Amino acid sequence: MNAVFDDTAKLGKWMAVEVALAKAHARLGNIPKDAPAKIEAAARKVKPGRVAEIEAEIHHDLMAMVKALTEQAGDAGKYVHLGATSYDIEDTATALIFLEGITLLEKRFATLASTLKKLALEHKGTVCIGRTHGQHAVPTTYGMKFALYYQELKRDMERLAEAKKRIAVGKMSGAVGTMATFGKDGPKIQKLVMGELGLEEDPVTNQVVQRDRHAEVLCVLAFTAALMEKVAKEIRNLQRTEIGEISEPFTQKQVGSSTMPQKRNPHKSERVCSLARLVRANAIVAMENIPLEHERDLTNSANERAIFGESFICVDYMAMELDKILAGLVFYPDNIKRNLELTQGLIMSERIMIHLVESGKLGRQDAHEAVRQLAQEAFARKRHLRELVVERKLLTKKEADELFDYTTYTGSAARIVEAAVKD
């Protein structure tokens, strides 16, 4: 991903657009038939260092490329960049770069989805306590957690596919989008250039391709980064000393702290969470770039040199790191069981209430109030709820033994998981 967004790759894409423009002119008879081949050969000779030298003199990066390409193209050099404005080249090249980056992310996300699917199926029967508002709620399964993440990632992959369609456009329309420099050939030239590059024509532009297209891609990356943060944050919380149900992999020689030898910090998950903030911030900047003034101003240009590559590279790295974390995730069954039993049966209050209603012993509201009062008493007196419901004759001992078995109170969790990861 670094290679896709580095300056050498950008330079290569710029020159590819210049070559496509020359080919379009040649097909329409505007320049000699052999000029495109000479310009294409010249593009292979242009050195990034030479472009940098020219840019240091003229303070215009695109024009520095044009001059360097012209130097190498001999008599065909006079046809380089004919009729184009800088952002005809730059925005069209940016589309090519984005498409290459998205293709890499699609592969990375597919790998991550496969790992989540595997975990969901492996742990569809691993019962654990569900938590709402940070408090113990009712039992769920680890398979449910991973199936949830899998489904959200699939939605993000669908969003990325949609955004990919809308970013796959280029322009060859001149300084304000009118194609005036190309005369009557303008529409034909744009069509030929985009056909050569495998892009769609942007139906209407001003000096630039409109930034809603780029912002959409960065917002999708921010969505996916937020999902990865969600997964990493759950791992971090479940790795807390007091909970200790799972942990990210920790190698034999790994050091957790420079002063506390016992530490097993979830630093890889923390790293994922940290980078998610950066990707979200970049999406905000991308949206700020949408309302450019008149036919365009330059307020988008400088920040895009940072936010485009940075967002793609961060998300790619996050997906790679999270996949490694999940693939090596460690489970602690004893702690999972301990936490299920931590509240001495209070997590089964809902089940008891439902049973009292279904058995005809109490109405719904009366059952809720009766169990609520017993739950409060059990908490205050540090007693198991099962003992109290039997003492107060709400349940028989046999009923209590069955109803307080948390492993049998996960509803359709297994079927939900299987359906959620079925492709």
Q: Which residues are part of the catalytic machinery?
A: 133, 257
* Contacts with 409 (C-beta within 8 Å, 6 or more apart), sequence order: 138, 139, 348, 351
What is the number of other CB atoms lying within 10 angstroms of the CB of residue 281? 14
Name the nearest CA neighbour of 240 among 266, 212, 202.
266
- Structure token digits, residue 228: 């990865």
Phi-psi region of 345 (alpha: psi -120 to 50; beta: other; left: phi over 0): left
Q: Which residues of 169-178 are buried (b: 16+ CB within 10 A; e: fewer)?
A: bbbbbbbebe
Name the nearest CA neighbour of 130 among 343, 420, 370.
343
Q: Which amino acid is at 384?
A: H
Cα–Cα distance measured from residue 263 to residue 126, given in angstroms and rounded to the nearest whole number: 27
- Structure token digits, residue 9: 């790759």
Burial degree of 376 (CB within 10 A; 0-12, 13-18, 19+): exposed
Cα–Cα distance measured from residue 151 to residue 136, given in angstroms and rounded to the nearest whole number: 24
Q: What distance, in Å, lies between the first and last C-alpha atoms of the chain? A: 28
Longest C-alpha distance within the chain, in Å?
A: 101
Element of type H or E holding 357 = helix 349-358
C-alpha distance from residue 178 to each of 10, 21, 91, 205 (Å): 26, 17, 16, 8
Angle 346-348-351 from CA coordinates, rounded to 5°: 140
